[in-house]
């Protein structure tokens, strides 16, 4: 019905809790009734072609309009809220120095809390922004800008953008400027992170430049959005957001403490992921959210590929195996699973829940297979054809498939039907006694998929790798083997499991392999088998105890150990003994790793997280740490949190630590530590953040929830199980958007592993609920059922 020609937006950011927003929209209509998206604190005027409209018509964020055929001008004068939930125009006051910072996150449905708009991804238009701000602020947006008088900024008009791309980053940010191949580059972060940003700038800019060169080589289409600024902003919900001209990142990605190599790989792949979006998402944008995979699956695949190919982080795919594979597989096995492509999103809020491991990790894996099937020439020729035909516009999955067909791809319909349009993973298993590989499609989503992958076979602690193809439910495979790992190199998408004898053999066979990808694949099979309720927790602990001290890839420690602590140990018949065994393994890695290496750091992080001796923790906190370990802010707070879990500290001591180093990071970890205390008042303190009785920013809310539910503290948290379910139906009145899902996930009572809790959750899921509430409730109830199956396995073996 509509064609939006231009947005002209004027903002006054000099207020304390709100800001003035004036929007002028030039739009043409084919005639009929529609609505404007507007979510203000107050609205002063809505004018259509110079005529004032009745302000009382605004209802739940929509202002009804009758637009006769022809061109029209809308003017909206409103007062908008500064927010603290990472959406809209987010205001942060840095506790380190009291400075105020603002950034815009228009993603999904938040744009109408910044400016009046037609909030739909296929209603693209150019934007011109005019901003008044405090005089010591810098204002950066999607297009280059300049300060025309003190505190007044004029930004150039952008190319056509979807509403969800529009951003502003404003405040006394520390800025770094550079240039590459004619593209102006910029970095920014809060002043309290200025030193850390300066230290990280060379690495960040080197990765950015290398990725630009590679994307230009692969696509033959230059980055078209002018400046490329990367803003590291506080309390950001996502990893990053691909806004053209001004990409926003969560600012913990500026490293103020020492980090492992795996964390640096994660940052590099995030940088490359957002750069890939400049083509997949920004030049051509999905018409609607049911094709969000056209953004995220491609950016995930290209981000990992380009990082591995042209940066110092050539092991990016191994890092991805540890970090992302299980995220995707877990999501794909839940009742809420959905196809990668065409997921049927009913609205933007519901679609937000599909920004999950399926749309990212599974989609990336399938695109990797598709690229192997087509070859680079056809794959990228089709992509370029897609960009050329729909430049600055919108497109669908079918448009991309047509481009690939024109480029020479064949058999796409069969492949996409089985892999992209059918939900759920096949389960792969080796039946040792039958000498066969078993393929089991998900019962609710049957598909006939052919899997071509490699199998790693261990015999007498020596490994051999052989390719196999599985195209039937039973495929003969009878090697003489101690252990068999199915698809350790992630050649296909499936839930690969381990038989009992292979798990036992891995105790000696896995440490003999120096193949980091194989070891990552082994741990993914362990995690999958455990998630399906087929593996005793003590066997997982035993494998970690035996193999992690020999691990040379710190991602194994940094990802496997937290998973065991949170998911496995609490189900062990002897959790304290299991924790001590893990601590001994981590301590051995600290002792044997070269001093000063990030491998030693990963080991020490694991040792701190598993330590059960308060005196040792306090000795470390006092500076008595192994040679090579730097006791920085992150490690100090890790020790404070662990002391809190053990009940070996007080709120007064935690408050004093916060006062000593009043940073944003400290506030989040302080919340985690206080909520972790095994005391009734601490659980109530955390609960007040869930219910909104205590209004805190998003990061602190999440930390409080994760700290509240600790294994071993069930006597304190059990009364909150029923309170959690009672609060859920009305929770959208307290939290909204992204943070609503965060609140449910972080406060879900996962330690209450009982049939009564599962039944209560199922009963509530049968009631009328907000879609975000229902999705998260169903997902985490399924996870709890899996934990309950493992508990039954443990009890049956007792």
Residue 349 CB: number of other CB atoms within 10 A? Answer: 20
pLDDT of residue 347: 80
CA dihedral 214, 218, 221, 225 (to 10 degrees): -40
Phi, psi of 97 (to 5 degrees): -145, 0
709 within 8 A of 751, measured Cβ to Cβ: yes
User: What b-and-e string marks burial along 500-517, b requiring 16 or more CB atoms within 10 Å of the CB?
Assistant: eebbbbbeebbbebeebb
Q: Please state, in angstroms and rounded to a whole number, the distance separating the CA atoms of residues 223 and 786.
A: 46
Phi, psi of 470 (to 5 degrees): -115, 110
* Overall average pLDDT of the 182-192 stretch: 98
Does pLDDT of 343 surpass 90? no
Question: What confidence tens digit (pLDDT) does each residue in 38-89 have?
Answer: 999 999 999 999 999 999 999 999 999 999 999 999 999 999 999 999 999 9
Q: Please state, in angstroms and rounded to a whole number, the distance separating the CA atoms of residues 140 and 226.
A: 13
Q: Which member of 274, 296, 545, 785 is catalytic?
A: 274
Closest by alpha carbon to 491, among 523, 527, 467, 473? Answer: 467
Does pLDDT of 344 surpass 90? no
pLDDT of residue 353: 85
283 within 8 A of 224, measured Cβ to Cβ: yes
pLDDT of residue 564: 97
Architecture of the domain delimited by 1-172: Sandwich (2.60)
Q: Please state, in angstroms and rounded to a whole number, the distance separating the CA atoms of residues 508 and 505.
A: 6
**3-state DSSP call for residue 744?**
helix
176-425 belongs to CATH 1.10.390.10? yes
**3-state DSSP call for residue 640?**
helix
Residue 767 CB: number of other CB atoms within 10 A? Answer: 10
* Overall average pLDDT of the 4-13 stretch: 98
Q: Please state, in angstroms and rounded to a whole number, the distance separating the CA atoms of residues 262 and 397.
A: 33
Active site residue 274: yes
Residue 240 CB: number of other CB atoms within 10 A? Answer: 21
DSSP structural state of residue 565? I
Q: Where are the alpha helices (DSSP H) in 556-627?
A: 561-563, 575-592, 598-610, 614-621
Phi, psi of 62 (to 5 degrees): -125, 130
Phi, psi of 102 (to 5 degrees): -130, 145
Task: List all residues 6 or more positions away from 655 whose beta carbon is below 8 Å from its beta carbon.
Answer: 670
Burial class of residue 797 (count of CB atoms within 10 Å of its CB; 0-12, 13-18, 19+): exposed
Closest by alpha carbon to 24, among 90, 87, 116, 99? Answer: 116
Q: Please state, in angstroms and rounded to a whole number, the distance separating the CA atoms of residues 291 and 172.
A: 38
Does pLDDT of 139 surpass 80? yes
**3-state DSSP call for residue 143?**
coil
Q: Please state, in angstroms and rounded to a whole number, the distance separating the CA atoms of residues 337 and 493.
A: 14
DSSP H or E segment with residue 138: strand 138-141
Closest by alpha carbon to 76, among 113, 105, 109, 106? Answer: 113
Does pLDDT of 350 surpass 80? no
Does pLDDT of 248 surpass 80? yes
Mean pLDDT of the chain: 96
Q: What percent of the chain has pLDDT over 70?
A: 99
Burial class of residue 631 (count of CB atoms within 10 Å of its CB; 0-12, 13-18, 19+): middle
Q: Please state, in angstroms and rounded to a whole number, the distance separating the CA atoms of residues 663 and 766.
A: 43
Task: List the chain domain ranges.
Answer: 1-172, 176-425
Q: Please state, in angstroms and rounded to a whole number, the distance separating the CA atoms of residues 40 and 101.
A: 20
Does pLDDT of 719 surpass 80? yes
* Overall average pLDDT of the 693-701 stretch: 96
User: What b-and-e string marks burial along 326-348, b requiring 16 or more CB atoms within 10 Å of the CB?
Assistant: bebbbbbbbebbbbbbbbebeeb
- DSSP states of 62-129: EEEEEE-SEEEEEEEEEEEEEESSSSEEEEEE-TTT--EEEEEE-TTTTGGGTS-B---TT--B-EEE
Give pTM, 2 decimals: 0.97
Closest by alpha carbon to 430, among 472, 471, 467, 483? Answer: 483
pLDDT of residue 352: 82
Strand pairing class (127-132; 2-12): parallel
pLDDT of residue 342: 78
Q: Please state, in angstroms and rounded to a whole number, the distance separating the CA atoms of residues 789 and 592.
A: 37
Does pLDDT of 348 surpass 90? no
* Overall average pLDDT of the 440-462 stretch: 95
Does pLDDT of 346 surpass 80? no
pLDDT of residue 178: 98
pLDDT tier at 669 (50, 70, 90 boundaries)? very high
Rg (CA), the chain: 27
532 within 8 A of 791, measured Cβ to Cβ: no
CA 655 to chain centroid, in Å, comes to 30
Closest by alpha carbon to 752, among 723, 777, 717, 707? Answer: 717
668 within 8 A of 637, measured Cβ to Cβ: no
3-state secondary structure 115-134: CCECCCCCCCECEEEEEECC
Q: How far apart are the first and last CA of the chain?
A: 67
Question: What confidence tens digit (pLDDT) does each residue in 567-586 have?
Answer: 999 999 999 999 999 999 99
* Overall average pLDDT of the 656-679 stretch: 97
pLDDT tier at 797 (50, 70, 90 boundaries)? confident
pLDDT of residue 349: 78
Q: CA separation (Å) from 560 to 302, 617, 672, 728, 746?
A: 25, 22, 21, 31, 20
pLDDT tier at 252 (50, 70, 90 boundaries)? very high
Q: Please state, in angstroms and rounded to a whole number, the distance separating the CA atoms of residues 52 and 59.
A: 17
* Overall average pLDDT of the 476-498 stretch: 97
pLDDT tier at 461 (50, 70, 90 boundaries)? confident
Strand partners, 247: 230
Phi, psi of 144 (to 5 degrees): -60, 150
DSSP H or E segment with residue 689: helix 680-691
431 within 8 A of 479, measured Cβ to Cβ: no
Residue 653 CB: number of other CB atoms within 10 A? Answer: 14
Phi, psi of 425 (to 5 degrees): -100, 150
* Overall average pLDDT of the 471-484 stretch: 97
Task: List all residues 6 or more positions away from 656 whose beta carbon is below 8 Å from its beta carbon.
Answer: none
Question: What confidence tens digit (pLDDT) does each residue in 276-299 have?
Answer: 999 999 999 999 998 999 999 999
Strand pairing class (451-459; 483-486): antiparallel
Task: List all residues 6 or more positions away from 539 whose beta carbon is below 8 Å from its beta carbon.
Answer: 503, 504
Does pLDDT of 720 surpass 90? yes
540 within 8 A of 526, measured Cβ to Cβ: yes
454 within 8 A of 486, measured Cβ to Cβ: no
Q: Please state, in angstroms and rounded to a whole number, the distance separating the CA atoms of residues 451 and 437.
A: 11
* Overall average pLDDT of the 157-163 stretch: 98
């Amino acid at each position: 019905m509509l064609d939006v020609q231009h947005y002209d937006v004027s903002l006054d950011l000099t207020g304390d809790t709100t800001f003035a927003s004036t929007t002028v929209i030039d739009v043409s209509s084919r005639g009929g009734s529609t609505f404007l998206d507007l979510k203000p604190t107050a609205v002063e005027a809505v004018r259509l072609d110079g005529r004032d409209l009745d302000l009382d018509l605004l209802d739940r964020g929509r202002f009804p309009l009758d637009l006769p055929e022809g061109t029209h001008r809308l003017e909206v004068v409103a007062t908008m809220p500064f927010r603290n939930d990472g959406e809209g125009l987010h205001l942060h006051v840095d506790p380190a120095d009291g400075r105020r910072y603002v950034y815009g996150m228009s993603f999904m449905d938040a744009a109408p809390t910044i400016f009046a708009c037609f909030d739909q991804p296929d209603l693209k238009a150019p934007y011109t922004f005019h901003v008044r701000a405090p005089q010591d602020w810098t204002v950066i947006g999607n297009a280059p800008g300049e300060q025309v008088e003190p505190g007044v900024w004029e930004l150039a008009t952008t190319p056509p953008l979807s509403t969800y791309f529009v951003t502003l980053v404003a405040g006394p940010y520390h800025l770094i400027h550079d240039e590459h191949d004619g593209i102006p580059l910029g970095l920014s972060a809060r002043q309290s992170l200025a030193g850390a940003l300066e230290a990280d700038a060379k690495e960040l800019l080197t990765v950015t430049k290398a990725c630009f060169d590679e994307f230009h080589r692969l696509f033959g289409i230059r980055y078209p959005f002018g400046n490329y600024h990367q803003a590291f902003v506080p309390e950001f919900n996502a990893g990053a957001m691909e806004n053209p001209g001004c990409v926003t990142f969560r600012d913990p990605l500026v490293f103020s403490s020492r980090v492992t190599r795996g964390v640096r790989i994660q940052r590099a792949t995030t940088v490359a992921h957002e750069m890939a979006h400049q083509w997949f998402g920004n030049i051509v944008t999905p018409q609607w959210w049911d094709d969000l995979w056209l953004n995220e699956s491609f950016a995930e695949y290209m981000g990992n590929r380009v990082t591995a190919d042209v940066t110092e982080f050539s092991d990016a795919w191994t890092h991805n195996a540890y970090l992302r594979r299980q995220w995707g597989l877990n999501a794909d096995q839940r009742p809420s699973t959905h196809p990668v492509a065409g997921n049927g999103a009913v609205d933007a809020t519901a679609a937000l829940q599909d920004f999950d491991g399926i749309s990212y990790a599974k989609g990336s894996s399938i695109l990797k297979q598709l690229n192997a099937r087509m070859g680079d020439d056809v794959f990228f020729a089709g992509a370029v054809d897609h960009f050329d035909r729909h430049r600055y516009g919108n497109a669908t999955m079918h448009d991309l498939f047509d481009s690939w067909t024109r480029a020479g791809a064949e058999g796409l319909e069969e492949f996409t039907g089985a892999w992209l349009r059918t939900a759920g993973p096949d389960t792969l298993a080796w039946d040792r006694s039958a000498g066969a590989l078993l393929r089991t499609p998900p019962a609710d989503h049957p598909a006939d998929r052919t899997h071509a992958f490699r199998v790693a076979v261990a015999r007498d602690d020596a490994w051999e790798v052989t390719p196999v193809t599985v195209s039937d439910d039973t495929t003969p495979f009878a090697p003489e083997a101690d252990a068999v790992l199915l698809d350790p190199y992630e050649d296909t998408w499936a839930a690969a499991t381990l038989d009992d004898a292979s798990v036992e053999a891995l105790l000696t066979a896995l440490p003999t392999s120096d193949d980091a990808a194989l070891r990552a694949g082994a741990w993914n099979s362990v995690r999958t088998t455990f998630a399906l309720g087929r593996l005793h927790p003590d066997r997982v602990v035993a494998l970690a105890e035996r193999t992690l001290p020999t691990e040379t890839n710190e991602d194994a420690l940094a990802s496997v150990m937290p998973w065991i602590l949170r998911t496995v140990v609490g189900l062990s018949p002897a959790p304290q003994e299991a924790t001590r065994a893990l601590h001994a393994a981590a301590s051995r890695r600290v002792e044997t790793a070269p001093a000063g290496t990030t491998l030693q750091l990963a080991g020490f992080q694991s040792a701190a997280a598993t330590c059960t001796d308060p005196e040792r923790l306090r000795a470390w906190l006092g500076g008595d740490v192994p040679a090579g370990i730097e006791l920085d802010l992150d490690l100090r707070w890790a020790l404070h949190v662990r002391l809190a879990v053990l009940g070996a500290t007080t709120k007064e001591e935690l408050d004093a630590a916060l006062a000593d180093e009043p940073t944003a990071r400290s506030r989040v970890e302080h919340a985690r530590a206080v909520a972790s205390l095994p005391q009734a008042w601490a659980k109530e303190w955390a609960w007040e953040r869930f219910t909104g009785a205590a209004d805190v920013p998003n990061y602190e809310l999440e930390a409080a929830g994760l700290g509240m539910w600790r294994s071993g503290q069930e006597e304190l948290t059990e009364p909150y199980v029923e309170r959690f379910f009672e609060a859920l139906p009305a929770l959208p009145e307290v939290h909204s958007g992204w943070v609503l899902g965060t609140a449910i996930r972080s406060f879900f009572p996962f330690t209450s592993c009982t049939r009564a809790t599962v039944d209560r959750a199922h009963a509530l899921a049968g009631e009328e609920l907000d879609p975000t509430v229902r999705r998260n409730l169903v997902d985490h109830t399924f996870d709890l059922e899996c934990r309950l199956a493992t508990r039954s396995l443990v009890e049956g073996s007792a």
